[in-house]
């Protein structure tokens, strides 16, 4: 019998398993895809939230031994702080970001712990390098912004919040610190302040020093523009250009402003420092005020002036004559002449006999187009002796015309060796001819091409003309004076300060001490102040009080320079007072300058110092602009306000004691003397008490 197997009925119907699996796979694929999109969306939102919302507002991007750089995301600033965050050196507002750029949080140079790198696509690259080569108390950060295309403008601004800044360039109304200055954005080059009062002036270095112990040194090889907004910030900018010039600077921080400046001296003073001829310190400088149209008349005036100075007991003097008078004497006829009336031969007095007058002669790198000098060199086909441009028509050289002292003129081409040799020989011959030891060079400042919106020739960009001319005149010896200088504080030359107004403002008397501190801080300790009473207007001073207060300040500076004779402006007793101050300069001041010259030569320490030099942690010291130190041992606090016979005096150095030279009274340093009495005949001077 056949048995049949009973089959249990299955709850699952018969199906085609291949097709079912296929349908289920498609369903799961869609579900997984949707889930993936959701996860990606959530992750994206999370990343954006982390970057924009949840990310800390501050990021350390580079750390040194005791300091570091923080990226402040909300304000887009670099903050230089101590690692403990208890001291902020400075805040740098970064102006190089696209408007909607995401904040950077990662270091592309993360393998190197002393570097930070980041790139903004199609905009700019940033590289920061930490330099440990200085002493343990100083750290430096080299910062470089490099544009990726030619339309990028690079701009960094250094905040003045809780920082007093010094250095940079002189201005027509010099301030100390520079926080009180307003300057529009302009090329950071030297200009003639008499013709361009809103420009940067005669002594300029790309160096800025902050009261918190920070220093900024801008690369000398990159053209930059600088603006200053009063009590807010100063900004350094490189304009867009086909050269795609980077913005490069070094930031150094130290314990105090004094210590970081001492360290930065190794960068500021790259060459061996040399002293100029200091004989001029002993000789009061008198500007000759006569206007002559003939050499014979001028010579008589000079001899009469010289004899009067000696007769009035004003000592061995140096008489300065301007460029016109110098050329007038140099062109004097030396030939023998015959006096027909006496029927005898009489030789005219040769200019070289004027050497007994101790003349300071003046020249410049300019030549009037009407001068025989210029016409002769045109005839001899020596146009390349003057700054020139190539003609687009035939390629010939055409001298660039400019104005000098109201006349159309040309300027010496310092890139031409024949022109340089000729100029040096001419000046040397001029000195020998007139028996002059000292020669002053005017017209050193300014860039002829930039002033006329022309593209400078190779080697003449920015302040290269001024710097090169300073090194050029160094070849004439150590008895030269120039009216402007940059990157040449090591040379044995004197720098003539800019002309001042005959008033009590910062463009006049009140601007002297800020200028003194500025020059000395930048390494120009041997300067000649503008003549007593100011020379900007070219007129004599008539204010007796202003003359005396000016005289008192200049007594303590390297050279005593006069424009208005005391017998012209004032009563007879002022002449006697002038004698007394000249004697004080020779007996008291010059030995001090000689002593501290050795310290400057070996260490680069300024001779004239601000009061914060020995009070680097006292906030009050950073605002004092009417006192100065000679070395660390003499404090001078003149009256600079009209009609005042009292003033407050800050005595620096909490560990110092100061002796009042008038009363011999002893005062503790780190204190403020209120309403100190000082008559018109007195100048407050304090000497450090020695144990």
pLDDT of 109 reads: 83
Question: β-pairing, 285-287 with 318-320?
Answer: parallel
- Of 72-76, 165-169, 456-460, the range with the lowest mean pLDDT is 456-460
Highest mean pLDDT, choosing among 146-155, 443-452, 640-649? 640-649
- Of 63-72, 174-183, 238-247, 645-654, the range with the lowest mean pLDDT is 238-247
pLDDT of 380 reads: 77
pLDDT of 41 reads: 63
pLDDT of 594 reads: 96
pLDDT of 357 reads: 85
- Of 26-35, 261-270, 650-659, the range with the lowest mean pLDDT is 26-35
Cβ atoms within 10 Å of 549's Cβ, excluding its own:
23
CA-CA distance, 349 to 107, in Å (whole number)? 78
User: Residue 382's pLDDT band (boundaries 50, 70, 90)?
Assistant: confident
Three-state DSSP class for residue 387: coil
Longest dimension (CA), the chain: 183
pLDDT digits (tens, 9 = 90+) for 438-490: 999 999 998 887 777 777 776 788 888 999 999 999 999 999 999 999 999 99
pLDDT of 18 reads: 47
pLDDT of 40 reads: 62
pLDDT higher than threshold 90 for residue 149:
no
CA-CA distance, 476 to 435, in Å (whole number)? 14
pLDDT of 355 reads: 63
CA-CA distance, 604 to 497, in Å (whole number)? 21
177 near 165, Cβ under 8 Å? yes
pLDDT of 43 reads: 65
pLDDT higher than threshold 90 for residue 164:
yes
319 near 359, Cβ under 8 Å? yes
pLDDT higher than threshold 80 for residue 511:
yes
pLDDT higher than threshold 80 for residue 517:
yes
Tokens at 578, concatenated: 């002038």
pLDDT of 605 reads: 93
Adjacent-strand bridge partners of 215 = 209, 252
pLDDT digits (tens, 9 = 90+) for 208-222: 999 999 999 999 988
pLDDT digits (tens, 9 = 90+) for 98-107: 554 555 557 7
pLDDT higher than threshold 70 for residue 23:
no
Instruction: Report how far apart the first and last C-alpha atoms of the chain are (Å, whole number).
Output: 140
CA dihedral of 28, 29, 31, 37, whole degrees rounded to 10: 160
User: Residue 372's pLDDT band (boundaries 50, 70, 90)?
Assistant: confident
Task: Please tell me the CATH code under which domain 58-268 is placed.
Answer: 2.60.40
Across the range 594-619, mean pLDDT stands at: 95
pLDDT digits (tens, 9 = 90+) for 128-145: 999 888 888 899 999 999
Across the range 305-314, mean pLDDT stands at: 93
pLDDT of 235 reads: 97
Question: β-pairing, 480-482 with 67-72?
Answer: unpaired
CA-CA distance, 209 to 252, in Å (whole number)? 10
pLDDT digits (tens, 9 = 90+) for 276-296: 999 999 999 999 977 788 898
pLDDT of 96 reads: 63
Across the range 613-628, mean pLDDT stands at: 97
Across the range 382-399, mean pLDDT stands at: 79
- Of 12-26, 292-306, 558-572, the range with the lowest mean pLDDT is 12-26
Residues 6+ apart with CB under 8 A from 472: 414, 420, 423, 424
pLDDT higher than threshold 80 for residue 353:
no
pLDDT higher than threshold 70 for residue 371:
yes
pLDDT of 344 reads: 40
Residues 6+ apart with CB under 8 A from 37: none
Residue spans of beta strands (DSSP E) within 328-474: 336-339, 344-347, 359-363, 366-368, 388-390, 397-399, 402-404, 407-411, 438-441
The rounded percent of the chain whose pLDDT value lies above 70 is 86
130 near 114, Cβ under 8 Å? yes
Highest mean pLDDT, choosing among 235-244, 400-409, 476-485? 476-485
Give the number of residues written for the chain: 691
Tokens at 385, concatenated: 């002796």
Tokens 């007058």, located at residue: 357
């Amino acid at each position: 019998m056949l048995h049949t197997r009973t089959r249990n009925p299955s709850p699952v119907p018969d199906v085609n398993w291949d097709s079912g699996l296929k349908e289920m796979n498609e369903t799961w694929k869609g579900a997984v895809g949707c889930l993936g999109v959701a996860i990606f969306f959530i992750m994206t939102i999370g990343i954006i939230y982390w970057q924009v919302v949840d990310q800390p507002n501050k990021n350390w991007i580079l750390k040194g031994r005791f300091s570091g750089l923080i990226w402040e995301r909300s304000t887009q600033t670099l903050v230089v702080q101590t690692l403990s965050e208890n001291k902020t050196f400075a805040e740098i507002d970064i102006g190089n970001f696209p408007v909607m750029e995401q904040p950077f949080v990662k270091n592309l140079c993360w393998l190197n712990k002393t570097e930070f790198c980041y790139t903004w696509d199609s905009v700019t690259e940033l590289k920061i390098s930490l330099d440990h080569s200085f002493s343990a108390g100083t750290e430096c950060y080299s910062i470089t912004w490099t544009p990726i295309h030619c339309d990028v403008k690079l701009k960094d601004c250094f905040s003045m919040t809780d920082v007093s800044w010094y250095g940079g360039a002189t201005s027509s109304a010099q301030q100390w610190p520079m926080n009180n200055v307003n300057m529009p954005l302009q090329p950071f080059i030297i200009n003639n302040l008499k013709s361009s009062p809103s420009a940067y002036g005669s002594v300029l270095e790309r160096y800025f020093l902050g009261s918190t112990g920070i220093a900024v040194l801008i690369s000398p090889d990159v053209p930059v523009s600088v603006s200053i907004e009063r009590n807010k910030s100063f900004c350094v900018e490189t304009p867009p250009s086909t050269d795609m010039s980077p913005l490069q600077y070094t930031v150094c921080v130290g314990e105090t402003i004094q210590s970081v400046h001492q360290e930065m001296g190794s960068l500021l003073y790259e060459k061996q420092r040399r002293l100029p001829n200091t004989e001029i310190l002993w000789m009061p400088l008198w500007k000759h005020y006569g206007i002559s149209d003939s050499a014979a008349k001028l010579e008589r005036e000079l001899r009469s002036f010289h004899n009067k100075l000696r007769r009035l007991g004003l000592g061995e003097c140096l008489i300065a004559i301007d460029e016109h008078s110098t050329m007038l004497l140099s062109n004097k006829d030396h030939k023998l002449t015959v006096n027909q009336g006496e029927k005898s031969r009489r030789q005219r007095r040769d200019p070289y006999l004027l050497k007994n007058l101790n003349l300071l002669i003046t020249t410049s790198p300019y030549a009037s187009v009407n001068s025989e000098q210029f016409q002769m060199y045109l005839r001899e086909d020596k146009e390349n002796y003057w700054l020139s441009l190539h003609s687009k028509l035939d390629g010939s050289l055409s001298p660039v015309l400019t104005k000098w002292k109201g006349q159309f003129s040309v300027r010496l081409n310092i890139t031409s060796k024949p022109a340089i040799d000729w100029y040096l020989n001419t000046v040397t011959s001029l000195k020998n001819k007139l028996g002059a030891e000292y020669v002053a060079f005017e017209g050193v400042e300014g860039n002829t091409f930039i002033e006329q919106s022309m593209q400078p020739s190779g080697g003449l960009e920015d302040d290269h003309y001024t710097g090169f001319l300073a090194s050029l005149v160094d070849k004439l010896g150590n008895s030269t004076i120039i009216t402007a200088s940059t990157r040449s504080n090591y040379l044995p030359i004197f720098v003539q300060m800019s002309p001042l107004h005959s008033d009590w403002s910062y463009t006049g008397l009140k601007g002297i001490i800020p200028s003194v501190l500025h020059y000395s801080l930048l390494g120009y300790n041997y300067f000649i102040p503008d003549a007593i009473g100011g020379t900007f207007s070219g007129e004599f001073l008539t204010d007796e009080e202003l003359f005396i207060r000016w005289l008192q300040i200049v007594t303590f500076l390297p050279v005593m320079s006069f424009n208005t004779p005391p017998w012209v402006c004032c009563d007879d007793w002022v002449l006697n007072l002038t004698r007394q101050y000249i004697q004080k300069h020779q007996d008291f001041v010059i030995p001090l300058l000689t002593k501290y010259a050795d310290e400057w030569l070996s260490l680069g320490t300024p001779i004239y110092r601000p009061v914060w030099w020995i009070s680097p942690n006292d906030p009050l010291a950073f605002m004092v602009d009417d006192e100065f130190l000679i070395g660390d041992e003499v404090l001078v606090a003149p009256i600079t306000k009209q009609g005042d016979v009292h003033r407050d005096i800050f005595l620096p150095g909490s560990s110092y004691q100061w002796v009042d030279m008038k009363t011999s009274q002893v005062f503790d340093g780190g204190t403020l003397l209120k309403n100190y009495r000082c008559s018109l005949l007195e100048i407050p001077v304090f000497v450090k008490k020695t144990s």
